[in-house]
């Protein structure tokens, strides 16, 4: 399996309707150096004069995001236990280049330098995750106080710099000891996760008030237990279904636990989402896109808000196979204070209900790469494709800024105008092909990616969406999962040999926008 293509596609999700471009799409903007020429135009991109006029409301929170395993390093320091990612990366042949996250960006030791960079970039919110095995080395039992002390120091440094600490409780680094006990298909993990969340609320709730239980819970279940692309690399469709429900229960347990431990806590989400469009205007394809939206975008959001899962299935939902029990509706319910989700790209979806589909048991394909009819599974019966109408980033994702507007407005309408935070969003571009100019890193393609996407976000806000924050992925170049260090998303370049940080042109640009709230004030270049 081509992991680069799979990981790039895994952030996908679906929306259900054909979309009409408005007057803002009278012109197009090139995808290269801001308003200058490039080799690939973005079809229907928002007009340059609209980008120049785009504004964000006063008090809008400009931020950046990272994840514990991707930046912290210190993989076995101060009592930290082994995670599934430690086990995975220490197994030869699993990661491109044979690298690990043992050191990564070494933020565990260099966090003060990184907070100083955030302040220099005028950031007001930093989304990071806490490593569960750093707090509970085996996933249960008394907390490791040295691990908690690190996050206290990090939160204190952020608060001193005027930056909101924004915590994801789980960003994929499950304690290996819990995977040895069955992993997320084991319903007991929901209770363990609730205990862990309670520890975080008790010891960190005086400093951290913004929480999300999971990063991309659907991907945790699908990539880890169905497709086997990422640890624990299992390919069992029944395990995937059970993991879905355990994660839904765990979301509810964490919500209740952190709120019980900290009166200041607000709880939201960090779901993977992207708009997906029907391949044709047939009723079947539109229904397929709606099913994809239900599974990839709002499956866990529906569970939190309404105590039930979104109807993503053809025929009878497989609740028995998922392990749903009477009374679980109350356990799933966890009304979010705000809705957070990622945006990267879009998907094109078609119906596969009349085609041969996977019948459960061993599962060995992905919705993008499998040539087998049926696409993903015998329940949703859809086929999703990677569009290439627009240019691709170096990470293989299509550049489609309009998707930001469509997705934000869809969630706004479906969930009665909730407060929204964009929890991750960015473009993966390699810096090395471009000569450094007097120490500069002129990543103009990344600047243009942000300009176009943020202009669409500003348009959604102008049309009534209550978006209060945007977090660029990522603050730093980091360990990009199975791709190792071969992909770069950072506003700040990291030399992984010396760990030297260098603000890229995109970082300087983003900092100016964060200071002014105006895309036009960011200019087209860096320093």
pLDDT digits (tens, 9 = 90+) for 287-299: 999 999 999 999 9
The total of other beta-carbon atoms located within 10 Å of residue 176's CB is 23
Residue linked to tokens 């964490």: 254
- In DSSP notation, 33-87 reads STTS--S-B-TTPPPHHHHHH-B--TT-EEEEE--HHHH---TTGGGPPPBHHHH
| Gap between the terminal Cα atoms of the chain | 41
Bridge partner list, 440? 437
**Strands 382-385, 347-351: pairing kind:** antiparallel
Instruction: Look at residue 134 in the predicted model and tell me its pLDDT.
Output: 99
pLDDT(13) > 80: no
Tokens of 154: 């990090």
Q: What is the largest CA-CA distance in the chain?
A: 65
At 142-167, the pLDDT tens digits run 999 999 999 999 999 999 999 999 99
Tokens of 194: 């609730």
CA 138 – CA 80 distance, rounded (Å): 9
pLDDT category at 170 given cuts 50, 70, 90 is: very high
State the average pLDDT over residues 267-274: 97
Lowest mean pLDDT among 236-245, 255-264, 438-447: 438-447
* Cβ-contact 312, 446 below 8 angstroms: no
pLDDT category at 14 given cuts 50, 70, 90 is: very low
Percent of the chain whose pLDDT exceeds 90 = 81
Tokens of 97: 């280049």
Instruction: Look at residue 366 in the predicted model and tell me its pLDDT.
Output: 34
Instruction: Look at residue 363 in the predicted model and tell me its pLDDT.
Output: 33
CA 510 – CA 522 distance, rounded (Å): 7
User: What residue ranges in 83-186 does DSSP mark as E strands?
Assistant: 125-129, 164-170
At 312-322, the pLDDT tens digits run 999 999 999 99
**Strands 501-503, 266-267: pairing kind:** unpaired
Tokens of 490: 């950072």
Instruction: Look at residue 249 in the predicted model and tell me its pLDDT.
Output: 99
DSSP-derived 3-state class of residue 400: coil
Lowest mean pLDDT among 38-42, 87-91, 324-328: 38-42
Bridge partner list, 254? none
Q: What is the mean pLDDT of the chain?
A: 89
Lowest mean pLDDT among 37-46, 93-102, 372-381, 385-394: 372-381
User: What residue ranges in 223-286 does DSSP mark as E strands?
Assistant: 266-267, 276-278
Angle 154-422-430 from CA coordinates, rounded to 5°: 80
Bridge partner list, 351? 382
Identify how many contiguous H helices and E strands the chain contains and give both numbers.
Answer: 18, 13
State the average pLDDT over residues 503-513: 97
Using a 10 angstrom Cβ sphere, with 0-12 exposed, 13-18 middle and 19 or more buried, the burial of residue 281 is exposed
Instruction: Look at residue 360 in the predicted model and tell me its pLDDT.
Output: 33
Q: With left for phi above 0 and alpha for psi between -120 and 50, is residue 106 left, alpha or beta?
A: left
Tokens of 24: 């803002």
* Cβ-contact 477, 493 below 8 angstroms: yes
Q: What dihedral do alpha carbons 79, 81, 82, 85 form, nearest 10°?
A: -100
Tokens of 100: 């690990």
**Strands 492-494, 501-503: pairing kind:** antiparallel
Instruction: Look at residue 36 in the predicted model and tell me its pLDDT.
Output: 35
Q: Which residues contact 22 (CB under 8 A, 6 or more apart)?
A: none
- Residue from 214, 195, 190 nearest 331 by CA: 190
* Cβ-contact 253, 295 below 8 angstroms: no
CA 186 – CA 178 distance, rounded (Å): 9
Instruction: Look at residue 436 in the predicted model and tell me its pLDDT.
Output: 66
Fold designation for 3-522: TIM Barrel (3.20.20)
At 350-398, the pLDDT tens digits run 999 887 654 333 333 333 333 333 345 678 999 887 788 999 999 999 9
């Amino acid at each position: 399996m081509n992991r680069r293509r799979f990981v790039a596609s895994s952030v996908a999700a679906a929306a259900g309707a054909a979309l009409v471009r408005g007057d803002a799409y009278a012109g197009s903007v090139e995808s290269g150096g801001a308003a200058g020429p490039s080799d690939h135009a973005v079809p229907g991109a928002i007009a340059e004069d609209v980008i120049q006029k785009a504004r964000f409301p006063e008090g809008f929170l400009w931020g950046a995001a990272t994840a514990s395993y991707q930046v912290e390093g210190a993989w076995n320091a101060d009592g930290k236990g082994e995670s599934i990612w430690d086990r995975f990366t220490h197994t030869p042949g699993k990661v491109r280049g044979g690298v690990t996250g043992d050191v990564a960006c070494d933020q565990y030791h260099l966090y003060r330098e990184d907070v100083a960079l955030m302040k220099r970039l005028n950031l007001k919110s930093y989304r990071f995750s806490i490593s569960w095995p750093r707090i509970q080395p085996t996933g249960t039992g008394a907390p490791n106080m040295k691990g908690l002390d690190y996050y206290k120091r990090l939160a204190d440094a952020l608060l001193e710099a005027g930056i909101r600490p924004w915590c994801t409780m789980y960003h994929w680094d499950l304690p290996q000891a819990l995977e040895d006990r069955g992993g997320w298909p084991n319903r007991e993990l929901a209770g363990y996760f609730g205990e862990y969340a309670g520890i975080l609320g008790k010891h960190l709730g005086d400093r951290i008030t913004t929480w999300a239980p999971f990063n991309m819970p659907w991907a945790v279940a699908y990539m880890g237990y169905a497709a086997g692309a990422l640890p624990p690399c299992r390919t069992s469709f029944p395990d995937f279904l059970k993991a879905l429900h355990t994660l839904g229960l765990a979301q509810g347990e964490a919500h209740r636990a952190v709120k019980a431990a900290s009166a200041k806590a607000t709880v939201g989400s960090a779901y993977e989402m992207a708009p997906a469009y029907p391949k044709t205007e047939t009723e079947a394809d539109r229904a397929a896109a709606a099913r994809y939206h239900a599974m990839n975008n709002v499956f866990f959001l529906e569970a939190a808000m309404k105590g039930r899962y979104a109807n993503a299935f053809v025929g009878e939902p497989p609740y028995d196979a998922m392990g749903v029990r009477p009374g679980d509706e109350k356990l799933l319910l966890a009304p979010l204070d705000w809705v957070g989700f990622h945006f990267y790209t879009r998907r094109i979806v078609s119906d596969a209900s009349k085609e041969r589909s996977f019948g459960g048991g061993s599962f060995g394909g992905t919705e993008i790469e499998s040539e087998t009819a049926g696409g993903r599974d015998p329940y949703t019966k859809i086929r999703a494709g990677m569009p290439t109408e627009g240019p691709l980033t170096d990470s293989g994702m299509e550049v489609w800024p309009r998707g930001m507007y469509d997705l934000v407005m869809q969630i706004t309408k479906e969930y009665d105008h909730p407060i929204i935070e964009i929890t991750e969003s960015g473009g993966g571009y390699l810096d090395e092909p471009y000569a450094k100019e007097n120490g500069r890193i002129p990543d103009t393609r990344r600047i243009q990616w942000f300009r176009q996407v943020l202009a669409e976000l500003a348009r959604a806000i102008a049309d009534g969406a209550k978006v209060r924050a945007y977090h660029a992925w990522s603050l730093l170049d980091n360990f990009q999962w199975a791709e190792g260090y071969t992909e770069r998303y950072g506003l700040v370049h990291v030399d992984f040999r010396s760990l030297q940080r260098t603000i890229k042109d995109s970082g300087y640009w983003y900092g100016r926008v964060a200071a002014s709230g105006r895309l036009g004030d960011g200019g087209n270049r860096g320093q």
